[in-house]
Chain A
Amino acid sequence: MAGRRVFVSGVGGELGTLVASLLEAEDWVGALSGIDADPPRRRLHRTVFHRIHPDEHDRIVDTVVDFNPHVLVHVGVWEPDARAAPHAAALLTDAAATSIIGAAAECRALEHLVVRSGIEVYGRAHGALTRPDESAPVQPTSAWGRTVAAIERTAAQVGERVGVTVGALRLAPVLGPHVPSPLGRLLRMPAVPFSVLADPPFAVIEDRDAARAFVAAARVGLAEPVNVVAPGAITALQAARRGGRLPIPLVGPDWRIARTLSHLLGAPIPDHVSETLHRGRLADNRLMRTLLGVLPDTSTTEVIDRLYHWPSVIRQPARVQVA
């Protein structure tokens, strides 16, 4: 088991960096390599980083094939309105998934593939289960849900074709002190809109717990989808109250105005976040312990409490103006 070569895509993002730093501490991991369009958010000691844009298909394939990993962890996804606008995010995610998972299929040593997905794959159509487990049908009703469902599908097809196990981690919305999240950004606004008629519950996951789940999935060779969700749930109104924000009750057409205003104020509300606020988003996390052997350390309520205590961006002026 020792000396496995592990490749992490999306290692420049906050979650990818956390995954890589936790993998560095694992004794079964030999060589570690990563790829992203941006450099890692913190210092990685053992990881060899390659800065490659998702569009550079040939370079990605060469890099992955040269490394010839035993395990590939695909974290390189762009959530709409997190770091890129929805259309650009979808294009970048698709390009990265196609190149990296495609390249993985060319690696002879590859034994296992772990991909990042989301509980958005279950969708929130009328009559959708309140708390779906992994056996619930994949019926995404948002652009982000369709994007991560497509990643799962691509990975499953590649896994079947080349005979490797594929595990998909269906993450709840990931929040963390440095994670760009449209939901987290909205909840930290001075005024938080909520649906006065529904105010449904949702669950989240802290970035560190999500990263631990990735490492566990890579270690145990997860071969099926698993929901990665913090225990408990919260509503937008409760979150706003806990954070001392002004809750704004909205109904019907008010949301259109709220979305526009929120976008102008720097916290756009993509359709999957809007869906969360109107229809809720929960998922059953019982398989986490069984399949991964880990449970989240932080509950949904604690994550939301921490969200309001994480410091804001502190802008420091240059000591010497050079331009």
Chain B
Amino acid sequence: MDSPLERVTNLTARVTRLGDEPSGTIDDWGRDPGLVRTTMHLARIRWDVAVGGDQHLPRRKGALVVVNTRRFALAPIFAALALSEAVDRPVRFVGRPDTAPVGAFSRRLGGLLDHPDEVAGALGAGELVVMGADPDARVGAGHHQLVGRVDHALVGAALRAGVPVHPGATASSPFARAARVEIGRASRSPRKRRGPLTELELADQVRIDIGLLLDEFGEVRTGTALDRLPLSGFGGA
């Protein structure tokens, strides 16, 4: 049995700071810190991301962050890069393909396969992981209608790993640099369940919580026909 001091030391040792990661190496999951740093610099040309709510994320343990996505917006990737910089530790994202060369490149950036066991393994190892909700959202009133389905199997992976699930709202525009990532407090399932309903209900709750975060973002209203175009950066397709 470890002494309290050893336990604290082990806990501290688990967290890798971005600045501590040596170049020319890759980590246990194939993430290349040198490439990530270069990509972060390049990403600043495309996006100017304001990150908020990162204080809600655990400092050392793993957590799953679910963000709203839009087609071709690369929301999980820019959110992971921006969060990584904000919390000063590696943040991975879900959804890399398993085909070279795109899959290999995504893995170097911290990409994980869209598989519950893969996500559970990373979360169990104390990693922060960002996943996107389904980009296919229904059209309707309220921002939660703009958030697509959240894969309950991946949420179940977080439950298995015993880590919190945080809602994250992202906003970016196809034409502007300004982007925003806001992380909310960990979502909680409305009811205590003993079976797989927990992950289903938690996934629905995360979707609602992302919608509430998007509501707090407010909306750009110019009073012109531009308001009808999908330029606000919110929600689904």
Binding site for B on A (CB under 8 A): 126-133, 135-136, 195, 197-201, 203, 231-235, 238, 241-242, 280, 282, 284, 286, 301
Contact = CB atoms under 8 A, between A and B. Distances in A.
Interface of B: 24-30, 98-101, 103-104, 107, 112-113, 115, 117-118, 121-122, 124-125
A129 B125 contact: no
A282 B118 contact: no
A284 B100 contact: no
Given A198-B100, A199-B104, A129 B26 contact: no
Contacts of B117: 129, 132-133, 135-136
A129 B113 contact: yes
B98 A286 contact: no
B24 A241 contact: yes
A197 B115 contact: no
A238 B29 contact: no
A191 to B, nearest CB: 20
Contacts of A238: 24-26
A128 B107 CA distance: 14
Contacts of A232: 25-28
Given A233-B30, A282-B29, A198 B101 contact: yes
Nearest to B126: A286
A182 B24 CA distance: 24
Nearest to A280: B30
16 contacts: A127-B98, A129-B113, A129-B115, A129-B118, A130-B112, A130-B113, A131-B121, A131-B122, A133-B117, A197-B101, A198-B101, A203-B28, A232-B25, A233-B29, A238-B26, A282-B29
Contacts of B101: 197-198
B28 to A, nearest CB: 6
Contacts of A126: 98-99
